[in-house]
Chain A
């Protein structure tokens, strides 16, 4: 038996164990980049080299089309329940969600509101990006959307709420801006009921209610109002395709109260997200009431893609 470079043979021809700890970091990174959230957390816990090779890994595969979102329940304390898309349940301590409300969820980032302050948050890595102070000190029927991840240069945030019987109010924030801009649109309450979902598509913010009404606000500051109808067989002028599908009553259809093991006296308000299931589809926000009006307690939940974003501590808006 010959002595080969890089290989040690004993007289019995057994190969020595390869030292996987010798794998260079530029080969560890492509491995880390292919991991889902739980596997990435395992990977980071192996040793120093593996942890430092994973600084750019963010569980990107969880955002691939056809990956169903997970669901995170949070309430008045820091103990949150996480349900994976394969039905695995976890308990996870996330103090940042204590007393906060999620207004939007997109590709693993959450837009959170807490007593006047707004911030982007990744619950699994605890990455947090603070935003300029929001003009309202409380959120009521507020619904929001953002165009791209908060670290991207062209991130636009829009928060909508009804400010009177006849007007909708939209507060918008551009990446790097220090102040929210305010835009009002004339849309009476009977024209658009409660807004139940928001998303961004092709330079326009879309706001859906839970029937067939749609309001859009484009980046050139113009409002448009639509009614969603089944697609007619022939093309008509003035009727365009709706580029975004909707998933309504998703929490109910997925039997989530049962899956989460929530008791009957719990009411839960959920924040949806955009999924890709042949086309882009918006999971709408829902409000599920408790079985009886008696002693019930309120929980909040959000559909989320389980990403692991790592931002530097001094990452600012």
Chain B
């Protein structure tokens, strides 16, 4: 008969979990309570719901058994398990970060923070705001300061068929062109966007026009119109 010590955890919504002491001690917070002899009855965890707590316990179970000398779980297997485990929606991810922090489970906190960091890869500030539902609260001056700091990292270049002239254009202006907008949305922005049907002098005019329209839209005067159709109609010299 193994007498494995267990502790009882109670989530914010009243769910009860009976967990082996070694597993529960993956949480430094709970470990402290146990060591201070405060764990005789159920430990209340008012900041963690039952759903999230069950996930945290799952994580702790997996990571305790792997530190057993009898366990044959390799690092790669554990990493694979972590990847599967953390494949959750943003709401759950948010709750897991908060729970990992509150319960002080270092491995889980590292895993969740790294997951968010990985989500930020290849994303502009606008895309990050959209993904995480965050409002841009910079003042116009702060926005300008930020733009000066990071604009170079998100500029894309347009290239005409002369291969000589490239124009650095901000993404917002390039989006004015429907065709280019589609390419951008297809993630075509890593390289130079070739525009086979446009000569450099026409492209220059188009960009100037787009700039004006973006500025006009920003100052909320007349609505901008798509220039794409205008471009296609004109017969252009090679």
Which of A's residues lie within 8 Å of B, judged by CB? 2, 4-7, 15-21, 23, 26-27, 30-31, 34-35, 37-39, 41-48, 50-51, 82, 88, 90-93
Q: B132 contacts which chain A residues (CB < 8 A)? A: 20-21, 46
B123 within 8 A of A: yes
Question: Is the CB–CB distance between B137 and A91 below 8 Å?
Answer: no
Residue numbers in B under 8 Å from A21 (CB-CB) = 132-135
How far, in Å, is B206 (CB) from chain A's closest CB? 21
Q: How far is the CA of A16 from the CA of B101 in the complex (A)?
A: 21
Question: In the docked arrangement, what's the CA distance between A21 and B132, Å?
Answer: 8
Given contacts A19-B133, A42-B125, 14 further A-B contacts (CB under 8 A): A5-B49, A21-B134, A27-B97, A30-B113, A31-B117, A39-B117, A41-B150, A42-B123, A43-B128, A44-B146, A45-B124, A46-B125, A46-B128, A47-B134
Given contacts A39-B121, A42-B120, contact A90 B152 (CB under 8 A): yes
Cβ of B129 under 8 Å from chain A: yes
| B82 at the A interface (CB under 8 A) | no
Q: Mark B91-132, 1 if CB is under 8 A from A, else 0.
A: 100110110010000000110011011001101110011001
Interface pair A38/B153, CB less than 8 Å apart: yes
Assembled-state Cα–Cα distance A7/B142 (Å): 34
- B117 with A34: CB separation less than 8 A: yes
Residues of chain B lying within 8 A (CB to CB) of residue A18: 90-91, 94-95
Please report the C-alpha to C-alpha distance between residue A51 and residue B138 in the assembled complex, in whole angstroms: 10
* Chain B contact surface mostly: helix
Contact present for B13 and A39 (CB under 8 Å): no
Option from A7, A23, A50, A92 in Cβ contact (under 8 Å) with B97: A23
CB atoms of B98 and A27 under 8 A apart: yes
The reply to whether A5 and B13 contact each other, CB–CB distance below 8 Å, is yes
In the complex formed, the residue of A with least CB distance to B48 is A6
User: Is B155's beta carbon under 8 Å from chain A?
Assistant: yes
Does B168 sit at the interface, judged by CB under 8 A? Answer: yes
Query: B12 at interface (Cβ–Cβ under 8 A)?
Result: yes
Does B218 count as interface, using CB distance less than 8 angstroms? no
- Which residue in A23, A26, A39, A92 is a CB contact (below 8 Å) of B120? A39
Also in contact, A17 and B133, with CB within 8 A (given A4-B49, A27-B98, A39-B120): yes
Asked if A30 and B121 make an inter-chain contact with CB atoms under 8 angstroms apart, the answer reads: no
Chain B residues within an 8 Å CB radius of A93: 152
With an 8 A cutoff between CB atoms, is B235 at the interface? Answer: no
B68 within 8 A of A: no
A129 to B138, CA, bound (A): 29
B137: which A residues are within 8 A, CB to CB? 47-48
How close is A13's CB to chain B, nearest CB, in angstroms?
A: 12
Q: Which residues of B contact A41 (CB under 8 A)?
A: 149-150, 153
| Across-interface contacts of A30 in B (CB, < 8 A) | 109-110, 113
B128: A residues at CB distance < 8 A: 42-43, 46
In the assembled complex, 28 residue pairs joining A and B whose CB atoms fall closer than 8 Å, in A order, are A4-B12, A4-B13, A5-B12, A5-B49, A6-B95, A17-B91, A18-B94, A18-B95, A20-B90, A20-B133, A20-B134, A21-B134, A23-B94, A26-B101, A31-B116, A31-B120, A34-B114, A34-B117, A42-B124, A44-B149, A45-B124, A45-B125, A45-B147, A46-B136, A48-B142, A51-B146, A82-B152, A93-B152
